[in-house]
Structure 1
């Protein structure tokens, strides 16, 4: 069925009908992680949101080339500045490891976490260090066109010269004068022609670990240049969607647009899509506030602000219950509500194959199916989609309880709704169905606890009980023995 999809474009600040440059092909670039530490839940929200977008575009018939990079060099401390230490090099020195050991460790960790959240891998996952040649070639073009200049082995982008012919603040909606007045003085400013100029290539100090030869001397690329080079190589001078977190709008994505215009007089992407922030009990997530936690801490519940642990699919469901452009506030009450909602949905899904079709029907589910598409066609509105899926849940439960009849045709549509939107689009998995070996494992644990009690090792017995409680398994002792159940 043909679908008219509308997406909110940060560039124009309005919803627009999605019209790919070369249908049915779609090019989508999403800024990936800087792999110097474990990926946090706010990052995961961004990648789960773009997984939803990738899945839905594929569902409605597009052939998507999804490019998500790995930043493994050139990202300096302070993000916007051109001075300071490379984040990966700094971590490598502290750990007394090679930078590529740090890169490997956290790249593997990043992929493992996203796999746990059931995100699909991108079509291409290029690295910054694998595209040094492409970055050097783009710098040459910008120098030739007069938008860049070299100073003592470093190359800078000339923002004011660029702005004379282009709108530098087109993405963030701010004019150059405002940007200049609100820019703090950064290190290395004396080399630059203007306060807003940013580095395309940075001369490496002797102690800098990650450096490469270039026409301007030994150095390393600027962070903003890397994404321009990789998106340009794999998606062309102009493609359909560029995405990332909203924090990338003011500087990183603004500079990507400037670089692309400077090279080929085109905005790299027609649609700019940005995810909003994750907050914790109304506050920004930060280490200094003690409210920052990693996905594995959320799964285990081993953090001071968590009442207990939650499964990966409960967390994914929680994230998708908010629209990707809305601020998502994490709290124990919100997680408990999501856990109940997710289990309610999965319980209904489990009943679906047990339903028997009748000769007559009390329900027409075709309009429900279209409303599911309508929700996703309205800027990938997952919370509205989930509300429609709870209507499907109500129907499933009513048919199962004998309160409603459904014929074969409508039952097939209902099954298609669940497969399409619960599994294929939202990317949820029925964890209960996946836990076929769980009873065997828990029976073994219960027997070990019983042995500990028999030996009067009550400390171990209590530790097992409390540990299972934290991960959502409750033990109940009775005269007949010990039973377990999911909380």
Structure 2
């Protein structure tokens, strides 16, 4: 691993040289969606951010175990301890089983991620599938004296924890500030203090998602799922924990407290957070009327949208800003991203058609160095894009005869663009893909007719005709794969 990656650790508030705990293996846990509604614009940014990190770590030669959870139980309406479970509420309103709701919206999320070219994680655990692990984790915290049972629920004792450790290390808050900004209990609640949070909740009679535990028939607190699942799949000490900045408090703060209470230390070595997407300067929210789902973006069906925007336009829009900066959505910004993406893809197309010159007038090593330096500096994707744009201009000049590249340098440029634009940034040439799809629709009946003729020739043992058809298809870019029960084909 020659490249030294600097990552901004939210916990220490500085860039740190990334050194895996167990090289070359890297363990990365990222908080995934709560699946009770359609994936929206806010889901796109963390998905693309941590897909970028996943792709880049692998490009450096690391073996990455990327765990991204699905929250399908325990995320309550008002906060971590109050209100109705969001998925249970959706199920009640639509008269469905909660797991029907979770499955439906998980599938919607997966389709949206596929469209954005976000790679699947190594493991995608669900909260509802890890109740036993969460109960065991709660018991460890109880055994160490940092939790208490009250009326069948189990609460984390923030005050007891704060006496030995510091609660608020991640968010920069101290307990006095939290007390001052937390609603006081009126004596009717089960918690000792208003700032204590639930590890396990006793289910009310009408609650439709519940499991047996040593304390009550109930369900885990929202924060508990990530502590239990991250350590189950990555061990009690792993490399990276990621998520949106909106999760820093209380979710990630509580995760740190839970892990430290149970294990004696935080389980994650580095905390990475992406910033928010705003819409015309305002936080996205249903109450503001600016809540835009990804499907609405792809189809242009929301009233705030001037047009439809392709998935790669959305991905490019996200990558144009550094992941730790606020990203403001507007039609003008997305239209600019659309034009920028088109310019980059056309540059790649021109590069593929360049004719070699006797000598090169520019050195591709400069582009490679700029891209490598930018990515190693806390995933600076805007600087990678800027470097690629500068070289698109040089490539266009070469196409016009003002610059020149040898055959070897052209191949090197192709490799650099492939690595950074497509493999690391994760972009796709949508227009080329659409053209290929349209071409296949036109070609399919012709290929199938020829394969029927080949099948008949094989049945007649006319091997000469059979081979001639296969070789002819291969020559025009159709790969034939023979099977015992027939054959498959694909365009190369």
Q: TM (normalized to structure 1)? A: 0.88
Q: 1:149·1:155 contact (CA, 8 Å) conserved in 2?
A: yes
Contact 1:136–1:214, Cα closer than 8 Å, also in 2 = yes
| Cα distance in 1, alignment partners of residues 390 and 433 from structure 2 | 25
* Structure 2 match to 1:244: 243
Q: Show the counterpart of 1:469.
A: none
Report if the CA contact (8 A) 1:83-1:188 is conserved.
no
- Asked if residue 386 in structure 1 is aligned to residue 385 in structure 2, the reply is yes
**Are 1:28 and 2:36 matched, yes or no?**
no
2:316 corresponds in structure 1 to: 317
Q: Is the contact between residue 240 and residue 272 of structure 2 (CA under 8 Å) also seen in structure 1? A: yes
Aligned twin of 2:40: 40
Matches of residues 51-130 of structure 1 in structure 2 within 5 Å?
51-80=51-80, 82-130=81-129
**Compared CA separation, residues 155 and 408, structure 1 to 2 (3 A):** same
Match of 2:288, SS?
Answer: coil
What secondary structure, in the 3-state scheme, does the structure 1 residue paired with 2:272 have? strand
Measure the CA separation in 2 of the matches of 1:316 and 1:40: 13
Alignment partners' CA distance in 2, 1:276 and 1:149: 35
| Cα deviation, residue 350, structure 1 | 1.2
Per mean C-alpha deviation after superposition, the further-off stretch among 101-110 and 402-411 is: 402-411
Secondary structure of 1:149's partner? strand
Distance 1:439 1:87 in 2: 42
1:14 aligns with 2:14: yes
Aligned to 1:357: 356
Secondary structure in structure 2 of the residue aligned to 1:202 = strand
- 1:461 is matched with none
Q: What SS does the corresponding residue of 1:190 show, helix, strand or coil?
A: coil
Q: 1:30 to 1:430 in 2, by over 3 A?
A: same
Distance 2:287 2:440 in 1: 39
Gap runs ≥5 in structure 2: 443-492
Query: Does the Cα contact within 8 Å between 1:3 and 1:377 map onto a contact in 2?
Result: yes
Tell me the equivalent position of 2:233. 234
Q: Give 1:437 shift.
A: 5.7
Corresponding residue number in structure 2 for 1:424: 423
Q: Distance in 2 between matches of 1:143 and 1:426?
A: 44
Which contiguous aligned blocks of 4+ residues in structure 1 show a shift greater than 4 angstroms? 186-189, 437-443
Aligned to 1:468: none
Aligned residues: 442
Q: Does 1:202 align with 2:208?
A: no
Greater mean deviation of Cα atoms: 179-188 or 253-262: 179-188
Residue deviations 1:13-43, cap 9 Å, x none? 1111111111111100000111111111111
> How big is the alpha-carbon RMSD for the aligned residues of Structure 1 and Structure 2?
1.6
Aligned counterparts of 2:186 and 2:268: Cα–Cα separation in 1:
31
Structure 1 residues 405 and 184 mapped into 2: Cα distance closer, same or farther (>3 Å)? same
Shift in alpha-carbon separation, 1:392–1:207, aligned structure 2, 3 A: same
Structure-1 residue corresponding to 2:150:
151
**Shift of residue 408 of structure 1?**
2.4
For the 8 Å contact 1:10–1:272, the answer to whether it is kept is yes
* TM-aligned CA distance change 1:373 to 1:175, over 3 Å: same
Offset at 1:441? 11
Q: Please report how far the alpha carbon of residue 79 of structure 1 lies from its aligned counterpart in structure 2 after TM superposition.
A: 2.9
| CA positional deviation for 1:300 | 1.3
2:133 corresponds in structure 1 to 134
Give the SS at the match of 2:287.
coil
- Residue pair 1:392, 1:414 contacting (<8 A) in 2 also: no
Retained in 2: the 8 A contact 1:83–1:187? no
Conserved? CA contact 1:237–1:266, under 8 Å: no
Cα deviations by residue, 1:454-475 (Å, 9 ceiling, x for unpaired): xxxxxxxxxxxxxxxxxxxxxx
More displaced stretch, 392-401 vs 367-376: 392-401
Once the two structures are superposed, the pairs formed by residues 326-341 of structure 1 within 5 Å of their partners are 326-341=325-340
TM-score (norm 2): 0.88
Aligned-partner SS, 1:244: strand
Change (3 A) 1:189 1:253: farther
Deviation at 1:83, TM superposition (A): 2.1
Q: Is the 8 A contact 2:185 2:193 kept in 1?
A: no
Give 3-state SS (helix, strand or coil) of 2:199's partner: strand
Distance 2:280 2:251 in 1: 28
In structure 1, stretches of 5+ residues that fail to align are 444-487
